[in-house]
């Protein structure tokens, strides 16, 4: 983190944050095998239905970086879109998260864990600008932000 801090300081005046949105639909249910059926029902309520339920998720990915003096870009938006599609949407759109997305074979696919999974998928694939925030809206009223581990 220290290296990143120095980098920020060096490019202090031209750091711009860019946010790109994408939408996807997926289904999930909440169940912890360590809990009893009663506990699962009590803690997760309707979300514990093993047949699952769907959401129209909105994903917002924010990257930060210095503006390239030649192109005027922080990052090529088209490339960012392609990375988001390849790493996240192709794997999660119209999928049953519990059964089809490996992260959720062992973790409960809450919006919190979904934001973390998206971060972990995108982080190693972004080279031009650094990942700043992953925001996942489960519904228009509810979203989770993840800034990576600090």
Of the residues 78, 106, 124, 141, which one makes contact with other proteins according to CB under 8 A:
78
Q: Applying CB under 8 A, what is the total number of residues that bind other proteins?
A: 25
CA dist., res. 33 & res. 43, Å (int): 13
Q: Which is nearer to other proteins, 7 or 39 (CB)?
A: 7
Catalytic residue (one of 11, 47, 66, 103): 47
Contact 135, 59 (CB under 8 A): yes
Query: In this chain, which stretch among 28-36, 40-48, 49-57, 75-83 interacts with other proteins, using CB under 8 A?
Result: 75-83
The upper half-sphere exposure of residue 94, i.e. CA atoms within 13 Å in the direction of its Cβ, equals 2
- Residue 52 and residue 144: Cα distance in Å, rounded? 21
Binding part of the chain for other proteins, among 14-22, 85-93, 98-106, 120-128 by CB under 8 A, reads 14-22
55 is catalytic: no
CA–CA separation, 21 and 107 (whole Å): 25
Q: Which of 35, 48, 52, 67 binds other proteins (CB under 8 A)?
A: 67
Alpha-carbon span 92 to 140, nearest angstrom: 19
Which of 67/108 has CB closer to other proteins?
Answer: 67
Catalytic residue status for 85? no
- Is 59 in contact with 22 (CB distance < 8 Å)? yes
Q: Which residues bind other proteins (CB under 8 A)?
A: 8, 12-22, 64, 67, 70-74, 76-78, 132, 145, 147
């Amino acid at each position: 983190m220290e290296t990143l801090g120095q980098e920020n300081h060096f490019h202090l005046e031209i750091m711009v944050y860019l946010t790109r949105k994408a939408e996807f639909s997926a289904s999930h249910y909440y169940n912890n095998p360590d809990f009893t059926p009663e506990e699962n029902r009590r803690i997760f309520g309707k979300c514990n239905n093993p047949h699952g339920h769907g959401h129209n998720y909105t994903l917002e990915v924010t990257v930060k970086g210095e503006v390239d003096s030649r192109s005027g870009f922080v990052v090529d938006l088209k490339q960012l879109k392609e990375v988001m599609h390849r790493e996240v949407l192709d794997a999660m759109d119209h999928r049953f998260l519990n059964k089809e997305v490996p992260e959720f074979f062992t973790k409960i696919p809450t919006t919190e864990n979904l934001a973390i999974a998206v971060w972990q998928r995108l982080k190693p694939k972004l080279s031009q600008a650094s990942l700043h925030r992953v925001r996942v809206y489960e519904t228009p009223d509810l979203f989770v932000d993840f800034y990576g581990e600090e």
